[in-house]
Structure 1
Amino acid sequence: MADVNRGNRPLSPFMFVKYYRLQMTALSSVMVRITGNALIAAAFLSVWWLIAAAAGPEYYEFVNGLITCWLGDIIMFLSVWALWYHLGGGLRHLIWDAGYCLDVDISEKMGWAMFIGATVLTIFTALVV
């Protein structure tokens, strides 16, 4: 039998606003993937800086000026945050692979610990280095 109520059903975005709550485990998993890709871009910037150092002093000054300007400082600061966050995600997966902390409430606390830990470690790294 044909679905006669086809046009009266809510669409998918409607579910996100009223009924669906984004879980920390899903958010932290997506963020691990995003930070992994961001670290690839940061690695390319670092390699570009090393290649510029080998190419000569004029080109090195140009690239070093780009990386050490205010925008470059922000990019490098966020790259350090991504590095710490991605490391925390890897440690979390090692714990999960061992069969520990698989309960939902503990997993959500681990997700918050990743965000907070990465932020604290990034600030510590920026202040010490």
Structure 2
Amino acid sequence: MTNVTKSRPLSPHLQIYKPIPTMVMSIVHRITGGALYFGTILVAWWLVALASGEAYFEWASWFFGTLVGRLILFGYTWALVHHMLGGLRHFMWDMGYGYEKHFATKVAKATVVCSVVLTILIWIVGYAMR
């Protein structure tokens, strides 16, 4: 009996493909989607702390005010903005626009730049309103 699986070609994988912006943005979109689950748990924790009483809410607010807490919140903000922009990119594709290779690459690169700029802008406005 012969082993037919030895003559089959192997499927390409990430070590064979050259990373291109649209591929990287697809991977980052999935990662930010996963990160949003964690961030939403933190939002729920903050709301539970708010409903649990002043002492617990002050402790939760203290945590989010520390350097680690602010880095987590900044990362959550970036993940939220980046995932939203990626969703808008997918929505544009669903409408039948933006399939051209060079345009799709430009939009993928713009997604990174815009997500960083918008995140910084959100934090500047947030601190200005304090």
What number of residue pairs does the alignment pair up?
A: 117
- Matched with 2:9 is none
- Matched with 1:25 is 22
Q: Distance in 2 between matches of 1:95 and 1:103?
A: 12
Answering whether residue 85 of structure 2 is matched by residue 79 of structure 1, we say no
2:103 maps to which of 96, 103, 106? 106
Q: CA deviation at 1:81?
A: 0.8
Answering whether residue 40 of structure 2 is matched by residue 43 of structure 1, we say yes
Q: Distance in 2 between matches of 1:87 and 1:53?
A: 27
Q: CA deviation at 1:75?
A: 0.7
Determine what percentage of the aligned residue pairs are the same residue: 35
Return the letter of the residue paired with 1:125. I
Answering whether residue 69 of structure 2 is matched by residue 65 of structure 1, we say no
Q: Distance in 2 between matches of 1:20 and 1:93?
A: 22
Q: Distance in 2 between matches of 1:79 and 1:53?
A: 20
Q: CA deviation at 1:40?
A: 1.3
- Matched with 1:116 is 113
Structure 2: 5+ residue stretches without partners: 7-11
CA RMSD of aligned residues (A): 1.9
| TM-score computed with the length of structure 1 as normaliser | 0.82
Structure 1: 5+ residue stretches without partners: 7-11
Q: Distance in 2 between matches of 1:74 and 1:120?
A: 16
